[in-house]
Amino acid sequence: MALYKTLTVNKTTKVLIWKIEESIAELKENTQLSKKSETRLNSMRSELHQKGFLSIRHLLKKVGYTDFDLVYDAFGKPHLKDGKYISITHSFTFTAIITSDDLHVGIDIEKQRDKILKIAHKFTPIEEYKTIANHDALISKLTIVWGAKESLYKIYGKKKLRFLHHIYIEDFKFADEKTSGEIRYNGEKMTYEIAFLEFEGFTCVYAH
């Protein structure tokens, strides 16, 4: 089974990334699902989504949980029954989770694609990045910013936040592999640490 990478964020927080290389039958082996999850799996038309769903259950197993420990609230945000924190992501052939005993966490994986240039104006003031002349570097930077905002959106866990108006990401250098971000909403300001990494044409960003 293809555990791709494990990152220790701190003593109580870790990230696990899975590269999907197995068949659905292999991923189903030794994986027990609740009736609700079984129904959800069977309703997925995409084989890639099914594989993503099942591989996340393998990641849960790596940190001592099962499908039965995972519950979703009314907004679709995942929670662990023991009160610890979790966030989940899936993009094509990669899935990842971040878990923490004591910190609110969010994670996002994105495939690096030209498509991000077309939607950039919807989530960030593009003027900030017009100085980046290199096409690939611009895609890379925008993908990190999107992933960072997605991670903070997941932490907040409710549907009202707007990426462009409520979530701010501090500018960064690629070599730093980290930045910070803020949710500014309803008169409140919440600050989080953000880290990112790139591999095989994908970007993973996580926040805590």
**Residue-range domains of the chain with CATH:** 3-103 (3.90.470.20), 108-207 (3.90.470)
* Cross-strand pairs, 6: 16
Q: Tokens 């971000």 sit at which residue?
A: 181
pLDDT, one tens digit per residue, over 158-176 is 878 899 999 999 999 999 9
Cα angle value 157/159/163 (rounded, 5°): 90
Interval 143-151 mean pLDDT: 97
Question: What's the whole-model pTM score?
Answer: 0.95
> How much is the mean pLDDT over the chain?
94
Q: Is the CB of residue 196 less than 8 Å from the CB of residue 144?
A: yes
* Cross-strand pairs, 101: none
Output the pLDDT for position 133. 77
Helix/strand/coil (H/E/C) assignment for every residue in 10-73: ECCEEEEEEECCCCHHHHHCCCCCCHHHHHHHHHCCCHHHHHHHHHHHHHHHHCCCCHHHEEEC
